[in-house]
């Protein structure tokens, strides 16, 4: 990795990397240190600086049953959305990978959801699932009141998860297809010589070989369901009905900006940060011993 040919200059590299370093310090490290400061202190109601609160902010949120409900909901959200999205994307990628005639058209359409903003998809799905409108809401004509995500929390959560899964299809598809196409052709041919039919080869040869990509995507999807869910929930349900679609990011936003409880929001941010850092760390540990085919 070490280069032999490098430039020697005392000033130039700092001029090159300086702007980015300043941005990173101002917009990443400073806010993170502020979050830590707020999480361990409590702002006094009448001003006059913050009081040291130790772990009280954390204990407070950990004792709050509403917070745990949010954590459980986020976990369920993450697993459900990730599972559906990866399953659909993997199925599509496996079949596109067979490269039959005309596949190119399918391939380019399957990437589309990647380009769509979460709020735009949120608005579209909100209409699709709206109890008053004539799509899914049409079943209310047959069984009045059976579908109403604005009062039924489970239906509302299902609606958001489906939308999130749809949005993830494009990204997952691109990565799965790339991984499938990197498998050497000869392995597939050897399987065919041994008499394995295409479906058998998909399940027993290709699937195990793309396991590293699947794992990478699993982590990426879970992280994105923690972070990107905001735009969906804000346009589809605003956390409602009565907080039943509130996930961790949304609760931070509500507590911090609507409730102006900076210390509570900061403590929650720290918990979420640790979660994301933990997941990223696991991912890098895994990527280091990734399988290489050639």
Partner 1 sequence: MIERSPYFDAFTYAVMIIGLGLVVFPFWVVIVAASQSLQEVSSVPISLLPSDQLWVNLSEAWERGGLGTKMLNSMIVSVGVTIGKITLAAMSAFAIVFFNFRSRMICFWLIFITLMLPLEVRIVPTYAIAANALMPFQAILDVTGLTWLVQTVSGVQVSLNWNLLNSYTGLILPLVATATGTFLYRQFFMTIPDELVEASKMDGASAMEFFWDVLIPLSRTNMLALATIMFVSSWNQYLWPLLITTDRENFGTAVMQLRFLIPTMNGTPDWNVTMAAALIIMLPPLLVVAFMQRWFVRGLISRDK
Pick out residues in 41-80 that bind partner 1 (CB under 8 A). Answer: none
Tell me which residue has tokens 């596949």: 103
DSSP 195: T
CA distance 131 to 147: 6
> According to CB under 8 A, which residues from 25 to 44 bind partner 1?
25-32, 34-35, 38
Q: What is the C-alpha R_g of the chain?
A: 24
Among 40, 67, 77, 166, binds partner 1 (CB under 8 A): 166
Among 174, 187, 207, 214, binds partner 1 (CB under 8 A): 174
Tell me which residue has tokens 């900006």: 257
Question: What DSSP line would sit under 148-181, residue for residue?
Answer: -TTT-HHHHHHHHHHHHHHHHHHHHHHHHHHHHH
Size of the site for partner 1 (CB under 8 A): 107
Widest Cα–Cα separation across the chain: 79
Instruction: Of 181, 106, 165, 152, give the one whose Cα is nearest residue 245.
Output: 152
Task: Provide, rounded to whole angstroms, the least separation between the CB of residue 72 and partner 1.
Answer: 19
- Among the residue ranges 19-27, 54-62, 153-161, 286-294, the one whose residues contact partner 1 (CB under 8 A): 19-27
- Among the residue ranges 45-53, 61-69, 93-101, 153-161, the one whose residues contact partner 1 (CB under 8 A): 93-101
Residue 207 as a binder of partner 1 (CB under 8 A): the answer is: no
Residue 151 as a binder of partner 1 (CB under 8 A): the answer is: no
CA distance 167 to 115: 9
Closer to partner 1 at the Cβ: 66 or 98?
98
Residue 234 as a binder of partner 1 (CB under 8 A): the answer is: yes
Residue 10 as a binder of partner 1 (CB under 8 A): the answer is: yes
């Amino acid at each position: 990795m070490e280069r032999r040919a490098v430039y020697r200059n005392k000033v130039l590299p700092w001029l090159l990397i300086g702007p980015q370093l300043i941005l990173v310090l101002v917009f990443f490290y400073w806010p993170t240190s502020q979050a830590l400061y707020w999480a361990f202190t409590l702002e006094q109601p009448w001003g006059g600086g913050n009081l040291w609160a130790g772990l009280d902010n954390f204990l407070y949120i950990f004792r709050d049953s509403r917070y745990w409900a949010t954590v459980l909901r986020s976990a369920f959200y993450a697993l459900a959305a990730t599972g559906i999205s990866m399953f659909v994307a993997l199925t599509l990628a496996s079949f596109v990978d067979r490269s039959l005639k005309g596949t190119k058209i399918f391939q380019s359409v399957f990437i589309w959801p990647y380009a769509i903003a979460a709020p735009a998809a949120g608005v579209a799905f909100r209409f699709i699932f709206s109890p008053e409108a004539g799509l899914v809401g049409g079943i209310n004509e047959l069984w009045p009141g059976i579908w109403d995500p604005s009062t039924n929390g489970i239906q509302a959560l299902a609606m958001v998860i489906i939308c999130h899964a749809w949005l993830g299809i494009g990204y997952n598809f691109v990565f799965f297809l790339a991984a499938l196409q990197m498998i050497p052709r000869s392995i597939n041919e050897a399987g065919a010589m041994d008499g394995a039919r295409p479906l058998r080869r998909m399940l027993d040869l290709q699937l195990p070989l793309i396991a590293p990509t699947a794992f990478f995507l699993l982590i990426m999807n879970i992280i994105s369901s923690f972070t990107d869910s905001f735009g969906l929930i804000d346009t589809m349900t605003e956390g409602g009905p009565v907080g039943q679609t509130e996930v961790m990011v949304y609760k931070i936003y509500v507590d911090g900006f609507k409730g102006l409880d900076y210390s509570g929001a900061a403590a929650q941010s720290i918990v979420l940060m640790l979660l994301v850092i933990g997941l990223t760390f696991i991912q890098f540990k895994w990527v280091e011993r990734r399988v290489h085919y050639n």
